[in-house]
Structure 1
Amino acid sequence: MSDNESIPRVDLGILAKVPKWRFYSHLFPSKVGAKPAWLSLKPLPTVDNLKCGICSEVCIFLLQIYSPLIESDDSFHRTIFVFICRNPNCSLPNDSRNIVVLRSCLPRENRFYSYIPPDYDSETANRSAPSECYYQSLCALCGCVGQKKCGSCQRIYYCCKSHQVLDWKEGHKEECGVLQIGRNDNTIEEGAKSFETELTKSNFSVEELEKMAFSKSDRTFENFKKIVKVHPEQMIRYSRKGTPLWITDENQLNVDDVPNCQYCGSRRVFEFQIMPHLVYKLGLDSIGKSLDWGVISIFTCEKSCTDTSNNYLREFAYKQDVTN
């Protein structure tokens, strides 16, 4: 924390490989890729809650940040989930309609998790942990609620037809009929092609950021490069009630234009931003159409309000790109 208490703290998230069992929901992970480790285990978001605002297909999980508010009884456990449409045609410049952000909160005393903190160092102690699949069937591809079943093996569920088709192409065609019971018994069991890693805090200098080759140059971008160069591996900049680190002079969001919370009417505040280096790490960058972004800034309800009828509340994302 700076000596100037008016300057919000900034925590940096980097990627680190950890054992699969560390992604159990009751260990409250921050993670990138594969399937979400849901916080509130029931009910989960429906397909309609996760549709892309451009093509209406179901978005896939990008990352989640565990960000508890200890001072709030209702938000003792709190996780922000970010989903994105996998269709590159929906990744339009400075357009955030292909991104879905959901916030889930739980009090310390709740029906899913123990009041006592879990053992973060023992795999054995965590094998009988509560799981969202105890309450509902889950999509084999994305980990969301599975409403459709494979007509052949009758064992695997999907949230929508498009995810069933994708999973068929990505391996289920060969596995169908010879699967071992239990493939969907734990959302931590991911496909070999999935990318999954933990987000941890960084407090040290690393090598210079790769693939930050934008042709646009302005004062804001030069400042962005100067700041990022100190910790070039940063994937997340977390600073609740702070300000985004804009990547260019153009298309900066005025905080007065951030919509208020649609549930309680409170203003939304900046919480964290997703950095462009994550595009490179996930292998999303390519020539032509691809999933990419300059920075994605996430704004959440200042009061972190809750709704007993809805455990996953929609929040606001703003994508700023560098355009030629």
Structure 2
Amino acid sequence: MASPPQDFTLIGLCDGDLDPNRHRSSYQTNKVGGHPDWLPGISRQCPRCGCCGAPLAHVVQVYCPLDASPSHRNLHLFACLRAECSGRAESWRALRSQALDARVTAATTATMPAPAQEAPLPLTAWCDAADDWGMEEGVGKSRCTLQTDGPALSEQDVSSGLQGLCLEESQEGVPVFRSFFIGVVEESDLRGEDDDLTRARELLRQYERREGVAAGQLCSSEGGDSGEKYEKTRARHGDAVFSRFMKKISWCPQQILRYCRGGKPLFISELSSNLDQMLSTCGSCGGSRTFELQLMPALVSMLQREDCSAELEFGTVLVYTCTNSCWTLGSGSTVEELCFVQMDPDQQLFK
């Protein structure tokens, strides 16, 4: 199994409304909101909040097959909209599902004999970058295989993995966000673009004037590991990590998602304890987890329901997945991954 180089980051951007009257999304659609599109053979699920037990809203769907794998692979992120659950990791759920390409093809043929109108992939869709996502151009199939020879799940493992999920439950009462396509650009390409950057630079200048220091002085070097050190110069609020966050996204403040499996996350505030101690092992195989993607502050204002304004608040939501992407061949259930939530210490900068 191979993954993109650690310095190879893909940036997710809003790429237009996903109107259900015009487009039909599928498990290969990268999108915000709407209802989840499960892989064929995967049981429909309605996850519930680990804090209050309320049904969760579907926030993001990402189609992310791994390099060197013949399996389709999806990540679905859900969140609780209740104010009392805001900012708590237990109010978020990240569910990973996989299926071999042959099984998906057979299921699709049997259940969808007349696919009238597939949702068109935007020019910047994740799946368009064949080299980026391990996809053959124009085919929509992954090139290689995930590990399917991992340890089988015991009844206890299955029970634990399904805790808090309501299978085949009615969608009535489940909050639904307005749906958007997610397009993608390589972060390295943003450095050579001048479009839509005036506002980003103005925000940065306002921040520097207010804090009395240049953001560049507070930014650590891009190299190094988890022990990276920051410059001694500190902003008045003392948060050098947030300053680095602002500097990093200043080239594209409208980014809603960052994807870099095996890479380094971009924290919005300083960690209270060692990250390795905070990361639990995979609940299915007991193996380690690796960073895969994170949601960004610009997404908050886009999460709207038809009957009310945005109800979800966060700074960034980081998702860590099983390093081996363990999977039981033929399984119809999902594997739960780890969400780590950081609230925004200066939300007004993104409004």
- List 4+ stretches of structure 1 deviating above 3 A: 18-23, 123-127, 144-147, 207-217, 250-253
- Does the CA-based 8 Å contact 1:40-1:311 persist in structure 2? no
- Does the CA-based 8 Å contact 1:31-1:197 persist in structure 2? yes
- Does the CA-based 8 Å contact 2:319-2:340 persist in structure 1? yes
Alignment map for 1:11-50 (pairs within 5 Å): 11-17=10-16, 18=18, 20=20, 22-25=23-26, 28-45=28-45, 47=46, 50=47
- Does the CA-based 8 Å contact 1:10-1:237 persist in structure 2? yes
Between the aligned partners of 2:274 and 2:312, the Cα distance in structure 1 is: 21
Between the aligned partners of 1:83 and 1:15, the Cα distance in structure 2 is: 18
Aligned amino acid, residue 56 of structure 1: G
Q: Which residue in 2 is equivalent to 1:254? A: 275
Deviation of 1:206 after TM superposition, in Å, equals: 2.7
Between the aligned partners of 2:263 and 2:273, the Cα distance in structure 1 is: 15
Deviation of 1:24 after TM superposition, in Å, equals: 2.5
Between the aligned partners of 1:264 and 1:250, the Cα distance in structure 2 is: 27
Between the aligned partners of 1:223 and 1:84, the Cα distance in structure 2 is: 27
Quickly say closer, same or farther: Cα 1:264–1:146, change in 2 above 3 A.
closer
Alignment map for 1:114-263 (pairs within 5 Å): 124=116, 126=118, 147=169, 158-159=170-171, 163=173, 194-202=177-185, 203-204=189-190, 205-207=195-197, 208=199, 218-251=239-272, 254-263=275-284
Deviation of 1:251 after TM superposition, in Å, equals: 3.6
Between the aligned partners of 1:301 and 1:14, the Cα distance in structure 2 is: 25
Matched position secondary structure for 2:242: helix
Deviation of 1:10 after TM superposition, in Å, equals: 0.5
Q: Which residue in 2 is equivalent to 1:97? A: 90
TM-score by length of 1: 0.66
Deviation of 1:250 after TM superposition, in Å, equals: 4.0
Quickly say closer, same or farther: Cα 1:246–1:78, change in 2 above 3 A.
same
Deviation of 1:38 after TM superposition, in Å, equals: 1.5
- Does the CA-based 8 Å contact 1:44-1:312 persist in structure 2? no
Between the aligned partners of 1:252 and 1:66, the Cα distance in structure 2 is: 32
Does 2:57 correspond to 1:60?
yes
1:158-216 Cα distance to aligned partner (Å, 9 max, x none): 346xx17x7xxxxxxxxxxxxxxxxxxxxxxxxxx841001111344534359999995
Q: Which residue in 2 is equivalent to 1:136? A: none
Quickly say closer, same or farther: Cα 1:279–1:6, change in 2 above 3 A.
closer
Q: Which residue in 2 is equivalent to 1:155? A: none
Deviation of 1:106 after TM superposition, in Å, equals: 1.1
Matched position secondary structure for 2:89: coil
1:51 corresponds, among 42, 48, 51, to 48
Quickly say closer, same or farther: Cα 1:36–1:229, change in 2 above 3 A.
same
Q: Which residue in 1 is equivalent to 2:294? A: 273
Does 2:34 correspond to 1:9?
no
Q: Which residue in 2 is equivalent to 1:187? A: none
Aligned amino acid, residue 71 of structure 1: A
Deviation of 1:25 after TM superposition, in Å, equals: 1.7
1:251-283 Cα distance to aligned partner (Å, 9 max, x none): 476134311111112211000000011112225
Query: Could you list the runs of 5+ residues in structure 1 that have no partner in the other structure?
Result: 115-122, 128-143, 148-157, 167-192
Between the aligned partners of 2:325 and 2:11, the Cα distance in structure 1 is: 22
Between the aligned partners of 2:273 and 2:342, the Cα distance in structure 1 is: 7
Between the aligned partners of 2:318 and 2:118, the Cα distance in structure 1 is: 34
% same residue? 25
Deviation of 1:41 after TM superposition, in Å, equals: 4.5
Deviation of 1:322 after TM superposition, in Å, equals: 3.7
Between the aligned partners of 2:64 and 2:251, the Cα distance in structure 1 is: 24
Q: Which residue in 1 is equivalent to 2:303? A: 282
Deviation of 1:303 after TM superposition, in Å, equals: 1.1
1:71-118 Cα distance to aligned partner (Å, 9 max, x none): 124xx21110000012122104xx21100110011111113246xxxx
Quickly say closer, same or farther: Cα 1:7–1:63, change in 2 above 3 A.
closer
Deviation of 1:248 after TM superposition, in Å, equals: 1.6
Between the aligned partners of 2:326 and 2:77, the Cα distance in structure 1 is: 18
Between the aligned partners of 1:217 and 1:22, the Cα distance in structure 2 is: 47
